[in-house]
Chains A and B, each alone.
Chain A
Amino acid sequence: AQSVTQPDIHITVSEGASLELRCNYSYGATPYLFWYVQSPGQGLQLLLKYFSGDTLVQGIKGFEAEFKRSQSSFNLRKPSVHWSDAAEYFCAVLDTGRRALTFGSGTRLQVQP
């Protein structure tokens, strides 16, 4: 069965610093991968997705992610974090057979001034 691991439960970075959130997946076929963000009391907003092609994908709000098949990873990056980026971030893989997303447990990002 597919699974997603986000090793970091909580990360704190300073405003203006770079950010990398880790995501490892387990899936037998070519994965469809997603990053979503959930601000406090809000729904899940799609940041970016990977289906195929270029392994570096660009998303909204200045985020990007790199798919590395050899490492089964899909890490999310941002060169300079803003205070408004404080939220919880979820990595997910789509099980195309079951037509469902499997989510990681999430990483809570705190941004220090």
Chain B
Amino acid sequence: DSGVTQTPKHLITATGQRVTLRCSPRSGDLSVYWYQQSLDQGLQFLIQYYNGEERAKGNILERFSAQQFPDLHSELNLSSLELGDSALYFCASSVSLGTGNGNTIYFGEGSWLTVV
């Protein structure tokens, strides 16, 4: 158990709909990351937040957005869903943005999203 908690574990929804994935980082971790894992794209970095502020952006679509709340949990919002958005979405967390062990990133078990 990495200490990173994600809900829901599985989600099935229809095209055009909107879903929210939730993540609680490990206790004490200020940085939260979102990754997408799909068969054709592999593991792709989406976005990172640190202590409530967006710090880095990867291959995140405009239909997707995220935020980190004052209690440090984070949500990833996916809207106008398409079949190609079906994937495993990981949340990860780390202590800081610094060097050394602060850069160790721990992953949750993921949220499986199926768009039908």
Contact = CB atoms under 8 A, between A and B. Distances in A.
B103 A105 contact: no
A106 B42 contact: yes
Interface stretch (B11-19, B78-86, B104-112): B104-112
Given A90-B43, A101-B45, A103-B43, A45 B2 contact: yes
A46 B104 contact: yes
Contacts of B109: 42-43
On chain A, which size bracket covers the interface? 20 to 34
A43 B104 contact: no
A94 interface: yes
Name A's interface SS.
Answer: strand
A42 B28 CA distance: 24
Contacts of A99: 31, 33, 48, 50, 55-56, 97
Interface in A30-64: 32, 34, 36, 42-46, 49, 51-52
8 contacts: A46-B107, A99-B31, A99-B33, A99-B50, A100-B33, A100-B48, A101-B45, A103-B42
Given A51-B100, A94-B105, 15 more contacts: A32-B103, A34-B104, A43-B108, A44-B107, A49-B104, A51-B103, A96-B103, A98-B56, A100-B45, A101-B43, A103-B42, A103-B43, A105-B42, A106-B42, A106-B43
